[in-house]
Every structure is written in structure tokens, then in C-alpha cells.
Amino acid sequence: MLDRLYTLLLQFKEYVILALLLVVSLVLLSQNDNRQVRFLRSVSSVALGVIQNQIAFVPRYLRLREENELLRRMNIELADEASRLREAKLEAARLRNLLEMKRPPEYGYRAAEIIGKHLLLMRNTLTLNVGTKDGIAPSMPVVSDAGLVGIVVGATPYFSVVNILLNVEFRASVKIQRSRVDGILAWDGTNLLLTNVPKTHDVQTGDLVITSTYSSTYPPGIRVGLVKEVSSEAGSLFKQIIIEPSVDFTRLEEVFVMTVVPSRERITLEQSVNAGSQR
């Protein structure tokens, strides 16, 4: 070890001697109280102070970078927390609206979440996370806090499928709440229509449409939507009425299945009478 140190000293002896001489010179200058030496010391102190101020931004810059990284991480965490809180707030509002629905005592309601949507077809459907084990059966109406959603058309023990209003197979007996004009709700693949309404009947834009008492499937008084457009075609006996659904199916996440089964006695009676009248 000592041999290696001695070898290094021999190799760099000029630099070692220069360093020793500089140190001795600085010591002598610090001990000298001559006026010129004091002037040099003051000038040197000022120069060193200026240089120190100029290079002091380096550690400050490094500290600022660390602080900025910490603040960015905190902002990301806070933004994520705020997003979760907003989602929880929206979910709570939706559930509160669902729970505050006016529920007739004769009907039961089964809450369900939508786990599948098909909204780009002629036969648009929803898939729910409830099934026959939850008391769900075909022909049960489905509603939300906004109004009528559709009807259950199939169910397994744990899942069920709903035909929504925007389905060419969907039909419902409805009426204009203001004027009590009756009609059949149907979707033609483009618009939701109120059909079978004669030209002479009173229907205006903005009228509220609800389910009627003539339906054997849907309880009366369920909100369906508003009349968006009323027109008449030449040569036709009926109005062309376009309905704007109350339910926004693209944003729908939770629904209620009304655990009401249509009256078999009524359906059988109506079918038998209609069949007899057609003979």
C-alpha cells in the first residue's frame, strides 16, 4: 500500500509540490495584515460571493425538479381520487332517483345492473345480471327512474335479456296524458312512433306519453316520452307522430324489473273473443 502511494507521489510530484506551495501561499496571505493583501482578500471575497450566487441555482434547480415531480405525483393521485368521488356521486344520484320512484304497492321491483348493450341493431336489447333465481320471468316490464325501458324476453337462472323500446318487435299500448288519445307505440328502425292515431285527434308537440290501461303487459301511468314531431301525410287517415323516449339508453346503467305477471285470464279471454270475431 505504501509502495503504491510512494509511486503515485513520484509520478505526480510536480503537482503535489504546486499544491503545497499554493496552500503555504494562502496561509501566508491570510496571516499577512498588509493593506494590499487586505484589498486582495476583499476583492476575492466579493468575486467568490458573485460566483456563488451565479451557481447557486444548480442545487435550487435540482430541488425544484424533485418538488415538481412530487407535485405531479400528488396531482395524479388527487385527480384519480376526484374521478372516483365523481363516479360515486353520480352512482349515488342514480340510485337515489331509482329508490325515489313512485312504486304502486301492488307491484314488486327487482333492481338490476346492465351488463350488456346492443344498441346498433334493428332489435336492440339489454342484458341484465338477474334471472329466474331472482324471480325474473319473460313478459315482465323493465323501467328506470326516467320511464319505460322495455320488456324481458328471455331469462336464465342468473341473466335476462330485455327488448327495449328501440326494437322493431316492441309494442305497447300508450296514451297522450293531456288529451287521453290512445295509440300503439312502435319503432320502425329509425324513429319511435305513436301509431293508429286518427288525424282528427288532439296531439301536440311536447305532449307527455304514458302507458295506458288497455295494455295487458305494462301497468298504466309509466312515463314513455314526449311527442317530438306531429305531421300528416296526404291520403292517410292517421297522424305521423314521432316520440322522443324519456330514457337515454346510451347512458343507462341500472334498471328495475317490475315483478308483475300479465293476467292469463284476461289474455285468454281477449284472444278467444278476437278469434271468434274473425270467423
Q: Average pLDDT, whole number, for the chain?
A: 80
Residue 195: CB partners within 8 Å, gap ≥ 6? 183, 184, 185, 186, 238, 241
Closest CA to 168 of 122, 217, 119, 215: 122
Alpha carbon distance 46, 39 (integer Å):
11
What average pLDDT does the segment 162-183 reach? Answer: 94
Position 60 scores a pLDDT of: 60
Say whether pLDDT at 55 is over 80: no
Alpha carbon distance 250, 120 (integer Å):
11
What domains lie within the chain, and their CATH numbers? 2-55 (no CATH), 109-261 (2.40.10.340)
The secondary structure of residue 190, as a DSSP letter, is S
Higher pLDDT, 98 or 260: 260
pLDDT band at 67 (very low <50, low <70, confident <90, very high): confident
Q: Give the DSSP per-residue string, 236-270.
A: -SBEEEEEEESS-TTT--EEEEE-----HHHHHHH
pLDDT band at 232 (very low <50, low <70, confident <90, very high): confident
| Neighbour-count burial of 240, counting CB atoms closer than 10 A to its CB (0-12 exposed, 13-18 middle, 19+ buried) | middle
In the chain, what percentage of residues exceed pLDDT 90?
Answer: 44
Alpha carbon distance 179, 245 (integer Å):
19
Q: Which residues pair with 185 in a beta bridge?
A: 172, 194
Q: Which helix (H) or strand (E) holds 43?
A: helix 35-55
Say whether pLDDT at 59 is over 60: no
Position 78 scores a pLDDT of: 78
Give the three cell numbers for residue 225.
316520452
Q: What is the pLDDT of residues 184-225, one digit of tens each?
A: 999 999 999 999 999 999 999 999 999 998 887 888 889 999
What average pLDDT does the segment 231-243 reach? Answer: 89
What average pLDDT does the segment 27-37 reach? Answer: 59
In the chain, what percentage of residues exceed pLDDT 70?
Answer: 68
Closest CA to 20 of 9, 33, 31: 9
pLDDT band at 266 (very low <50, low <70, confident <90, very high): low
Q: What is the pLDDT of residues 81-129, one digit of tens each?
A: 776 777 777 777 777 676 665 544 467 889 999 999 998 888 999 999 9
Q: Give the predicted TM-score (pTM) of the model.
A: 0.62
Alpha carbon distance 119, 252 (integer Å):
12
Q: Which residues pair with 187 in a beta bridge?
A: 192
* Residue carrying C-alpha cell 333465481: 133
